[in-house]
């Protein structure tokens, strides 16, 4: 008897909304540089004024993901249409201390955050007499704690009514089906309310618990990337008195989170230059823009990746969740592709670039035909074969 195939390790389920049109919100206290960063990110001009709450409607925009692979495929095929992958970014107005209790523009912002799936958490580590700081002084560690606490308090407020309702049905009403959900909610409550910790700080939620977390989508379960806004001088010399303290705090409270220093002012300045000027300035100052890194990390934090379809008509990046199987990836292009899926013909981008053409990849034996159990990988170049579902016969 042939040996049984070893089962692939099961991927843990992902916390968060299921889908591919996910958004990431820029969150922070007022006047830390969120709108400046958003403007640079989207080249759109949200009013960046120097007073708290100058962003009330959350400005939203789609930012193309910078990718050399996509650029290479476009150069190679010279297609009529080019569609990169996009990251949806939302500029959320400044949160202040007490927002969970309705301070400032309080609850409206927290609801804007709950509509996002990930958070760029921006803190300010630059001194500037002209830009007021809502807490009176610059202290990014205190600012990070304020935001964390506001998000946690909002979740705390959400948890009690959920538990009361479940208690009514599961405990007093004896509904056995809801009892496990009630127990899990009690565990979440003891972590968020009693221990005063964020949902995502808990190292190992199991599958059932993640199902419950995904039902309620708590603010503190959203992945967070920390952006530290520095002055240009500090950013260029890569030194700032707060950086070590911020890193220390994050390592203690939110290990494995990404911290990216940036300078909003410098990014804005670089954006106004043409490519030649920008290159010259970066070389002189020995610096470079961190925008591509921020955009890519935001996309990865949402557990997204993309595959390419490429040819003379169109080169396009299709966004999928990590771990998507071939038929579901085909369904992104058209639902008929998923229904009538036969197979996916896959080549890796690196093989394509190395061999030079599709035929050369085939000749080298690197062009694979994959069935419906194939998990699509980031950067795959795919051609799908499918049957068209039965069309009504003409009489």
Round to whole Å and give the CA distance between 170 and 174.
Answer: 5
Instruction: Report pLDDT for 254.
Output: 85
Region 221-239 average pLDDT: 91
Inform me whether the pLDDT recorded for 104 exceeds 80. no
Say whether pLDDT at 59 is over 80: no
Highest mean pLDDT pick, 73-77, 100-104, 121-125: 73-77
Q: Which of 196, 248, 188, 236 is nearest to 212 (CA)?
A: 188
**What is the band of 99 on the pLDDT scale with cuts at 50, 70, 90?**
low
CA torsion through residues 313, 317, 318, 322, sign: positive
pLDDT over threshold 50, residue 225: yes
pLDDT (average), residues 239-244: 89
**pLDDT value at residue 101:** 55
Q: Tell me what pLDDT residue 11 has.
A: 55
pLDDT at residue number 102? 55
Distance CA 92, CA 87 (A): 16
**CB of 21 closer than 8 Å to CB of 219:** no
Average pLDDT over the chain, rounded to an integer: 83
- In this structure, the chain runs to a length of 395
How confident is the model over 294-304, as pLDDT tens digits? 999 999 999 99
Give the SS3 label for residue 210: helix
* pLDDT at site 15: 75
Residue 194 has pLDDT above 80, yes or no: yes
Query: How many CA atoms within 13 Å lie on the side-chain side of 160?
Result: 7
Mean pLDDT of 60-87: 90
Residue 10 predicted with pLDDT over 80:
no
Task: Give the DSSP per-residue string, 319-350.
Answer: EEETT-BHHHHHHHH-HHHHHTEEEEEEEEHH
Coil/strand/helix, residue 229: strand
Q: What is the maximum span of the chain, computed from C-alpha positions, in angstroms?
A: 80
Beta strand extents in the chain (DSSP E only):
23-27, 59-64, 81-83, 86-91, 118-124, 224-229, 258-262, 304-310, 314-321, 341-348, 368-370, 380-386
Measure the CA–CA gap between 4 and 151, rounded to whole angstroms. 48
- Give dist(CA 281, CA 320) in Å, integer: 37
Task: Name the pLDDT band for 248 (thresholds 50, 70, 90).
Answer: very high
For range 79-88, the mean pLDDT: 88
Distance CA 55, CA 49 (A): 9
Q: Which residue has the higher pLDDT, 131 or 228?
A: 228
pLDDT over 80 (residue 392): no
pLDDT in tens, 146-193: 888 888 888 888 888 888 888 888 878 777 788 888 899 999 999 998
pLDDT in tens, 17-36: 777 778 899 988 888 888 88
> Confidence band (pLDDT; 50, 70, 90) for 134?
low
Instruction: Kindly state the DSSP code that residue 375 receives in the 8-state scheme.
Output: B
For the residues 73-77, what does the mean pLDDT come to? 94
Q: Tell me the C-alpha distance between 379 and 377, whole Å.
A: 6
Cβ 125 vs Cβ 138: under 8 Å: yes
Q: What is the mean pLDDT of residues 50-56?
A: 42
């Amino acid at each position: 008897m042939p040996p049984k195939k070893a089962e692939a390790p099961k991927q843990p389920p992902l916390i968060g909304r299921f889908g591919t049109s996910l958004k990431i919100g820029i969150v922070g206290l007022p006047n830390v540089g969120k709108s400046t960063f958003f403007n640079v990110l989207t080249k759109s001009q949200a009013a960046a004024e120097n007073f708290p709450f100058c962003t009330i409607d959350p400005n939203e925009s789609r930012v193309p993901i910078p990718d050399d692979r996509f650029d290479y495929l476009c150069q190679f095929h010279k297609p009529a249409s080019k569609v990169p992958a996009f990251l949806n970014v939302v500029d959320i107005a400044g949160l202040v201390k007490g927002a969970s209790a309705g301070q400032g523009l309080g609850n409206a912002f927290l609801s804007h955050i709950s509509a996002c799936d990930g958070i760029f958490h921006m803190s300010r580590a630059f001194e500037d007499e002209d830009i007021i700081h809502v807490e009176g002084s610059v202290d990014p560690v205190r600012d990070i704690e304020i935001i964390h606490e506001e998000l946690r308090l909002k979740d705390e407020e959400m948890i009690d009514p959920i538990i009361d309702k479940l208690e009514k049905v599961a405990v007093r009403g004896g509904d056995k089906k809801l009892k496990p959900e009630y127990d899990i909610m009690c565990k979440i409550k003891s972590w968020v309310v009693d221990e005063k910790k964020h949902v995502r700080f808990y190292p190992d939620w199991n599958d059932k618990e993640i199902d419950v977390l995904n039902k309620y989508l708590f603010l503190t379960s959203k992945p967070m990337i920390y952006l530290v806004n520095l002055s240009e001088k500090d950013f260029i010399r890569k030194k700032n008195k707060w950086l070590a303290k911020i890193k220390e705090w994050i390592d203690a409270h939110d290990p494995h989170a990404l911290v990216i220093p940036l300078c909003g002012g410098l990014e804005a300045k670089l954006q106004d230059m043409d490519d030649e000027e920008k290159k010259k300035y970066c070389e002189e100052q020995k610096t470079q823009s961190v925008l591509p890194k921020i955009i890519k990390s935001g996309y990865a934090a949402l557990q997204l990746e993309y595959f390419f379809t490429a040819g003379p008509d169109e080169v396009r990046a299709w966004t999928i969740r990590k771990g998507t199987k071939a038929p579901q990836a085909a369904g992104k292009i058209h639902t008929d592709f998923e229904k009538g899926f036969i197979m996916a013909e896959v080549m890796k981008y690196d093989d394509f670039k190395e061999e030079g053409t599709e035929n050369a990849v085939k000749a080298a034996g690197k062009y694979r035909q994959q069935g419906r159990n194939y998990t699509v990988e980031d950067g795959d170049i795919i051609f799908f074969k499918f049957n068209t579902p039965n069309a009504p016969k003409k009489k």
